[in-house]
Amino acid sequence: MEQTHDKFLWIGLTTASVMLAFEPLRWLVTSWRDPSYQSYGAVYCIVLLGLIGLSVKSGPARGTSVAGRVFMLFLVAAVIRLAGQFLAINILSALALSLDVFAIAAVLRLESRKIALSPEWMAIFFLFALPLAPILQRVAGFPLQMISAEIACQMMSPVFADLICEGVRLQLNGVDVMVDLPCSGATGLLLLVSLWTFLNIIYRPYFMRAILGGVIIVGLSIIGNALRISLLAGGLGLGVDTMEPMLHSAIGLFTLVFTAAPVLMFYRPQTKPLPQIRKPVTNLPKALRVPVTVMALLAALAIVNAPKRPMDLSAPVSPARLPMQLLGARANPIALSPTEQQYFTAYGGHAQKVQYGPMGINVVRTTSPLRHLHSPEACLLGMGFSVKFQGTTYDPLPTSVYEATSPDGQIWTVAVSFVSADGQQTASVGEAVWSWLNGSSRSWQSIQRVTLKSLPEQDRISFENAALAALDL
């Protein structure tokens, strides 16, 4: 009878876990396929599956699993899933999937096999399957920009006597260089930290020693990114076009290898001993297993159907007053797509798209920039465009410039600036979000100016100036 209760418990918990995991897993797989996320998460999952296969094939496990530990994981995952559902934050719901990875590794007793692996670090490694890079850029991109710019300034000071450093802006030999959001080092940092996590899966180190190693590795990543910025900016100052794609990529690859090599060569944390063989432990009394299983199933059903109550809704904002004509071209409002209409209805904010002949203006206003604002890449990549970042300009206001090629081969120039209601101006969505997070600027708008690449430069400048003047910028 006890075996029947155990079987019922495991089947019930597994069913409830699958119910909780289904929607986050569907969203995660979608993020791998959606170009706007720029995610290589599937690669991390393939690596994890390979490690599990190697460990299972290496020999039988030495110990016995603990059922109570897996049940506690279910409870924690349910709370996280509820928070993600309630706040309407997909990535928060997906975080609970890492606990499922831990549970699978614990049930398979991978830490007790001939090729022993750490379930804890496997769960952490799974987090890199989530689209973390764009989130890290938006939430912590600006402080990473500032830190990298400061270190790069110190590196270049002995070489360039006329170097001027102003925040994320570097000026040397008459060349103006900005440490923009793509240069924040967020992607390189995630790659290096994921390498550290992978090594911890294999070495199974003591926790505090692993954390100390992680702090050092994060520092190495920041120094490596500062070195990359120094080489790029220094080359421009010496007349070398380091922004040429091949050379730019080569410098990035060199600095990544420069920071990863010491980790691979010298990171050898002390390994914890294999767990001792122990008797099975069941934390749930037999009389509670059936009611607890039923409660778990009911809780999972309630969580997946819980109403969404996001906290980061935008307050009501007034639309921008766009002119009826610019440079002789009449305004032609463009309707938002059904997806865009649904999004702004659910989360507040306001978006406008207006066409003036071959030129266009897109404006988004919000008091929740973390929810609404992003670089043009996110939408354009999702629409099938190929996008190249062209750099940053400062006249007449800070602007990030992109080249976007549509699926039919049409090439556009997209310029975007972010302006707060209290007058703060930036070319970086990371700075706008950071300012909002620390409470200094609450209301923001993004202003995109879209022109054909073939448009004469003087006509493009005239359109930019007329558009910004019409918006009192």
The tens digit of pLDDT for each residue in 133-156 reads 888 888 888 899 999 999 999 999
Check residue 124 and give its pLDDT: 95
**pLDDT class for 221, splitting at 50, 70, 90?**
very high
The better pLDDT of the pair 453, 309 is held by 453
* Residue 329 forms part of a structural domain: yes
Residues 155 and 227 in one domain: yes
Provide, rounded to the nearest whole percent, the portion of the chain with pLDDT above 90.
38
Tokens of 251: 């410098």
Domain count, the chain: 3
Residue 199 lies in domain: 133-266
Co-location of 260 and 355 in the same domain: no
- Determine the pLDDT at residue 1: 42
Q: What's residue 2's pLDDT?
A: 46
Distance CA 147, CA 257 (A): 21
At 281 the pLDDT is 46
Residue 295 CA to residue 402 CA, distance in Å, equals 53
Cβ pair 155, 65 in contact under 8 A = no
Q: Domain of 415: which CATH number?
A: 3.40.1000
Q: Are residues 299 and 389 in the same domain?
A: no
Cβ(416)–Cβ(399) under 8 Å? yes
Same domain, 261 and 278: no
In this structure, is residue 126 part of a structural domain? Answer: no
Question: Is pLDDT of 100 > 70?
Answer: yes
Q: Residue 205 domain-assigned? A: yes
In a domain, 372, yes or no: yes
What pLDDT digit, counting tens, does each position of 228-267 carry?
Answer: 999 998 888 888 888 888 898 899 999 999 999 999 999 9
pLDDT score of 67 more than 60: no
Does pLDDT of 280 surpass 60?
Answer: no
Q: Is the per-residue pLDDT at 65 higher than 60?
A: no
Predicted model pTM? 0.87
Looking at the fold, whether 374 and 245 belong to one and the same domain comes out as no
Q: Is residue 319 part of a domain?
A: no
Q: Are residues 386 and 278 in the same domain?
A: no
Within a domain: 121:
no
Q: How far is CA 37 from CA 282, 335, 379, in A?
A: 42, 24, 10
Residues 404 and 464 in one domain: yes
Please check whether residues 329 and 350 belong to one and the same domain.
yes
Both 299 and 339 in one domain: the answer is no
- 345 and 449 together in one domain: yes
The CA distance from 263 to 161, in Å, is 34
Examine the pLDDT at 443 and tell me if it is beyond 80.
Answer: yes
Residue 178 domain flag: yes
Q: Domain end: 266, 292, 316, which one? A: 266
Task: Supply the pLDDT for residue 265.
Answer: 92
Query: Residue 327 phi/psi, 5° resolution?
Result: 50, 40
Across all residues in the chain, what is the average pLDDT?
87
What gap in Å lies between CA 57 and CA 425, rounded to an integer? 58
Query: Does 73 map to a domain?
Result: yes
For residues 146 and 104, membership in a common domain is answered with: no
